[in-house]
Amino acid sequence: MNKRPLGKLGFAFVLFGGTGDLAKRKILPALFAAHRDGMLEPACRIVAVAQPMLARTDYLDLIGEPVKANVQGPVDVVAWDSFVERVSYIGGDLSDADVFARLAEDLRPLTGSNVFYLATGPSLFVPVCRALAASGLSEGAKLVLEKPLGHDLESSRAINDEVGRIFREDQIFRIDHYLGKEAVQNLLALRFGNSMFEPLWRREWIESIQITVAEELGVEGRGNFYDQTGALRDMIQNHLLQLLSIIAMEPPHSMEADAVRDEKLRVLRALVPLDDETVARNVVRGQYQSGTIHGAPVPEYQAEAGVGQGSDTETFVALKVEISNWRWSGVPFFLRTGKRLGGKTAEIIVNFRGVPHSALGTLPSRPGANRLTIKLQPEESIRLSTLAKMPGLGMELRGVNLDMVSDGLPHLTAMEAYQRLLLDVMAGRLALFVRRDEQEAAWQWVAPILSDWSKRHNPPKQYRSGTWGPPASSALLARHNTCWHEEA
């Protein structure tokens, strides 16, 4: 056990999987940024738990460089030294009761509400929760669960049932870091804080909406995991459907957690169900082949380490989604995600309808002349695209952009998504976390896609690395007289 003085002790942030990639790239950098910015309570300890038997000093050496490399903003020596004073480490197999006995002894002096973050595979969620309960650590604690929570609706329900026997729903924080992004928060502010947008946020004025999350990276050494998961489970079922529900939900009566989540759930339950015919027509799946990214050659998916020979796992999905309610009936939502694509971006595109008649001559005919772009990565911004007159004689129009975030608040640095969400966990704020019924509604909607793919045994369509996916993805939108927004 690694003990060190920290003054008055209050509560612990316990990170299971503390040596993993997620811990080093996201969670620990977010905790450091909160500490550096004075937002982490002085009485908060950080206890990492993982399988390797390491001394505390060896653990700090292990995480030091990767954590510093992934911190948003400066890392000075004083801030880092004071941060690691909070950190201790417990090594051992998570199936070993002795690990939890040592953890319980380490946390015994604490009187606050501990946070247990499970940055592990879903197969460990239930065993760890049972061990926490057996060690007397679950009472009054907060539990953070990473995705994927199960492999399908049945396995998701099984995990939720078992975890729910130990932790109440208001103790469980199912994290989706896209909901913590500044641009998503600004989308809520844009919709519900400005009277000018609400009358336009409906089928009469919006022609279509696109949600794209594109990566240039491949599976990056996670072939074993990804080959059992695929893009539909990894991205569509959670991130993209959550973003869709935020975009399409009705105004909540307040920002209280269940008020927001009730409205998101109504959207998920209003998604038009799919069947074999509509899956074949409205869903495109693909798998990347060899190609080039930034001029460097990259291998095909099936040549990646850990990927099974002849695998038909999809690395790309594009689909058309419809919402059957008064506000959105008839408006297509196009969702797209993939690996080894032509750029790294995450964005929401709201294409407004064109004017019914032009008194100004010929208007630009491209889709999205009036467009709202909510950029989530690589930078976060909200931009409104409109038409304006070019200087000079005549009435020639061109597109102009109004930046609605960075121009107005140039001196402020956006908080990284994980930092915001971890602080919300510690404060017990649930609004930006996924409730069980939301999660299961999303699984229920994607179930026919998974079923159809397993029955038809049609291989995914091929696309060359460095492009924007199979041609069928573009054809899906062309049938609706529109196209994907692509800047990269």
Residues classed as catalytic: 239
Q: Do 23 and 118 touch, CB atoms closer than 8 A?
A: no
Cα angle 434, 190, 355; round to 5: 120
The 3-class SS string of the chain reads CCCCCCCCCCEEEEEECCCCHHHHHHHHHHHHHHHHCCCCCCCEEEEEEECCCCCHHHHHHHHHHHHHHCCCCCCCHHHHHHHHCCEEEEECCCCCHHHHHHHHHHHCCCCCCCEEEECCCHHHHHHHHHHHHHCCCCCCCEEEECCCCCCCHHHHHHHHHHHHCCCCHHHEEECCHHHHCHHHHHHHHHHHCCCCCHHHCCCCCEEEEEEEEECCCCCCCCHHHHHCCHHHHHHHHHHHHHHHHHHHCCCCCCCCHHHHHHHHHHHHHHECCCCHHHHHHHEEEEEEECEEECCEEECCHHHCCCCCCCCCCCCEEEEEECECCCCCCCCCEEEEEECCECCCEEEEEEEECCCCCCCCCCCCCCCCCCEEEEEEECCCEEEEEEEEECCCCCCCEEEEEEECCCCCCCCCCCCCHHHHHHHHHHHCCCCCCECHHHHHHHHHHHHHHHHHHHHHCCCCEEEECCECCCHHHHHHHHCCCCCCCCCC
Task: Output the CA torsion sign for 391, 393, 398, 404.
Answer: positive
Q: Sort strands 333-338 and 316-321 into parallel, antiparallel or unpaired.
A: antiparallel
